[in-house]
Amino acid sequence: MQQSFDLFFVSSNYHKYQEAKKILQSFGIVLGFFKYDLEEIQSSSLKEIALKKAVQAFQKCKKPIMIEDDGLFIDSLFGFPGPYSSYVFKTIGNEGILRLLKLNRKAKFVSIISFCDEKNHKSFEAKIDGHISKTENGKGWGYDPIFIPKNMKKTFAELNNKNELSHRYKALKKFSNWYLHKMKSDDQ
């Protein structure tokens, strides 16, 4: 039986897709996965990076798509790694980040969801404030074992409800409100 999707999530990161799929499912949106290594431009703007990726993904897929780009911005490191989070994670990982930090551990996660189809290029941004833990805690992916959301005591990796409060959740919620309204308007 062939699966029907509302749109495709384009990424090489299956973990991101799984999170997005679960979150969007709660809003009634069915998400397919199109695995593809998108070229990432060098920019200090997450929004610019995400928009370029979305256009590239649509050109490859020829179907309505969405991509997600995010960054971890650490105050004491002047926003580093920010838009370079993926590269920094691959090179120095969580241990490297922990070694860089001293007293000020304030940080934020920012997520950009970019949608693209034949007529629309649209982005949705959300963030969550928090701080970096002193050690890795929990079994999560990416920076989840070291990021503690504001007013929490556990890292994203230790939380059972991460998908209900994360930066990605907030951005996907904004996207789904727009997308569902758009679909309703298109049907009329």
List, by residue number, the catalytic residues.
69
3-state helix, strand, coil in the chain (%, to 5): 40, 25, 35
Closest C-alpha to 142, from 76, 70, 47: 70
Cα–Cα distance, 185 to 176 (Å, whole number): 14
Closest C-alpha to 89, from 147, 128, 173: 147
114 three-state secondary structure: strand
Closest C-alpha to 40, from 83, 88, 91: 83
Cα–Cα distance, 86 to 65 (Å, whole number): 21
- What are the φ/ψ torsions at residue 159 (nearest 5 degrees)? -85, 135
